[in-house]
Structure 1
Amino acid sequence: MCKIIAITNQKGGCSKTTSTVNIGIGLARSGKSVLLIDADAQGSLTASLGFKRPDEIGITLATIMAKTINEEDIELKRAILKHEEGVDLIPGNIELSGLEVQLSNVLSRELILKEFVDSIREEYEYILIDCAPSLGMMTINALVAADEVIIPVQAAYLPVKGLQQLIKTINMVKRRLNKKLQVGGILLAMVDYRTNYAKNISAQLYEAYGTNVGLFKTYVPLSVKAVEASSLGISIYRHDPKGKVAQAYAQVTEEVLYSEN
């Protein structure tokens, strides 16, 4: 059985891509077969895995979805990039912006990514989709394709304020388009618990969403090491294996695995 997880937040700078990389590679380190999909036109996930010029990559998610729309054969082996830490990647780049416009004229446009993902889900145990920082058609496609959503949130006022609209959108997709969709949890990231501000924001999150949405037990602390790892194209496990962020993402990965049992 394959589990498809969309990692999303319409607010940028909340460790969404960093979480996709480190949860994905954490699952691979646990012996799971993992595919990461970059569904963001900025290509942040692709760049964070060491492919520094995503806009120059020939076959990307945009190519695949266009072929899916036109019912053309997809050469999947040419599309998938291999990362040295054991995960596969379908890259994303600026072409996704044009595809999003094209989707507006497509029949059943919310189902295009799901159609492709369903065709490959037997090949993997986990597929993680890194969504764009928006609630556009690509993000809706990811939510329709997913079994579960993980929502990374920075412990700050504005990112938390935007959660209400995101959860409303997730619930709408669940009602109308994907009845099996579940929220895996809100993941507090970039947390500096040395400040009362972060403690207060975290307490508000637990009070507002702890019961009806759920939060991960583990939080990811603020650290420059996570940013450094992304710039080097490797995971935090390789860049700073004994650091607090690596330990945190290892525990988050365990929570993702435990939810299967």
Structure 2
Amino acid sequence: MRVWAVANQKGGVGKTTTSIALAGLLADAGQRVLVVDLDPHGSMTSYFGLNPDALEHSCFDLFLHKGSVPDGLPGQLLQPTSHDAISLLASSTALATLERQSPGQSGLGLVIAKTLAQLWQDFDYALIDSPPLLGVLMVNALAASQQLVLPCQTEHLAVNGLERMVNTLAMINRSRKQALPFSIVPTLFDRRTQASLSTLKVLRDRWPQNVWEGYIPVDTRLRDASRAGRTPSQFDPKSRGVAAYRALLKHLLGQQLTSQVA
């Protein structure tokens, strides 16, 4: 299994869309894909037609055992999605309470890594949709992942959130045996606006080694796919957004090969 986390310390930058679009393209190519919703807002869970306020069982169950994960529990929590090759570990709004519980409990930062270890042979890829907050859930996502995708909306305020995220990553990397490779993905790009053009230039100037050379354009078909509860490539495989995500996936797979060789 390869594990990718999709994260940023700012909301509304396209994390969930990016996670699901990449998962859909991997699944279309015959890969078995697990998507993990660690955001208490449950956008990914809602995308696939489930209500994070009403689920009896969710990712929250994984954090109720003092840092251990009972054998078989992850498999019991898997939910089907609109794509036969994608399974979901759904979110619950109860995840928001973990920040209050975590100071008194050790080991909570590795719960998702332990969960994925139990599912290692069942999936080829796992994509984790992380919350826009530095806390126990984001730490879990980063600790479990081998590759990080950082979507950044091409508008000026989003750059500040990205700056915080890169600083957080530097802090996390100091406690890892190996630095976590990351790709910054410009999202919601509109070439008609000066804000998008200037922000894209800022991203490329400030992080030239890490910014993906392409961008994800504003595309209403991505929103339409979300409304239909289907992956973007299921909904409209020829849309501009899907073409961009297809190029991004090619980049990430190339980066994955590079990191494996290294």
TM-score scaled to structure 2, two decimals?
A: 0.92
1:204 and 2:216 correspond: no
Q: Secondary structure at the match of 2:116?
A: helix
Say if 2:133 is the partner of 1:134: yes
| Structure 2 portions without partners, runs of 5+ | 258-262
Distance 1:181 1:68, change over 3 A: farther
Equivalent residues in 2 for 1:84-123, closer than 5 Å: 84-85=82-83, 86-123=85-122
Residues in 2 aligned to 1:57 and 1:181: alpha-carbon distance in whole angstroms: 36
Report the Cα distance in structure 2 between the residues aligned to 1:7 and 1:108, rounded to whole angstroms.
22
- The number of equivalent residue pairs is 256
Mapping 1:42-121, distance limit 5 Å: 42-51=41-50, 53-67=51-65, 69=67, 72-85=70-83, 86-121=85-120
In the superposition, relative to structure 1, how do residues 68 and 255 fare at CA in structure 2: closer, same or farther (>3 Å)?
farther
Secondary structure at 2:53 match in 1: helix
Checking the alignment, whether the CA contact within 8 Å between 2:112 and 2:144 is kept in structure 1 is: yes
Aligned match for 2:221, one of 201, 214, 225? 225
- Aligned ranges 1:101-250 → 2 under 5 Å: 101-176=100-175, 178-211=176-209, 214-250=210-246
Contact 2:48 2:230 in 1 (8 A): yes
Q: Is the 8 A contact 2:39 2:131 kept in 1?
A: yes
Distance 1:232 1:50 in 2: 9
CA contact (8 A) 1:155 1:190 kept: yes
8 Å contact 2:13–2:153 — kept in the other structure?
yes
Alpha-carbon distance in 2 for matches of 1:55, 1:39:
14
Shift of 1:184: 2.8
Asked if 2 retains the 8 angstrom alpha-carbon contact of 1:50 and 1:232, the reply is no
Displacement of 1:119:
2.6
TM-score by length of 1: 0.92
- Displacement of 1:59: 1.5
Cα distance in structure 2, aligned partners of 1:73 and 1:121: 13
* Structure 1 residues without counterparts, runs of 5 or longer: none
User: Quick check: 112-121 or 195-204, which moved more?
Assistant: 112-121
Deviation of residue 62 (structure 1)? 0.5
Contact 2:60–2:95 (CA under 8 A) maintained in structure 1 = yes
Kindly indicate whether the alpha-carbon contact (under 8 Å) linking 1:147 and 1:181 is maintained by their aligned counterparts in 2.
no
In 2, Cα distance between equivalents of 1:27 and 1:68: 34
Say which is worse superposed, 73-82 or 214-223, in terms of deviation. Answer: 73-82
- CA 1:193/1:257 → structure 2, altered by over 3 Å: closer, same or farther? same
CA separation in 1, counterparts of 2:106 and 2:177? Answer: 20
SS in structure 2 opposite 1:186? strand
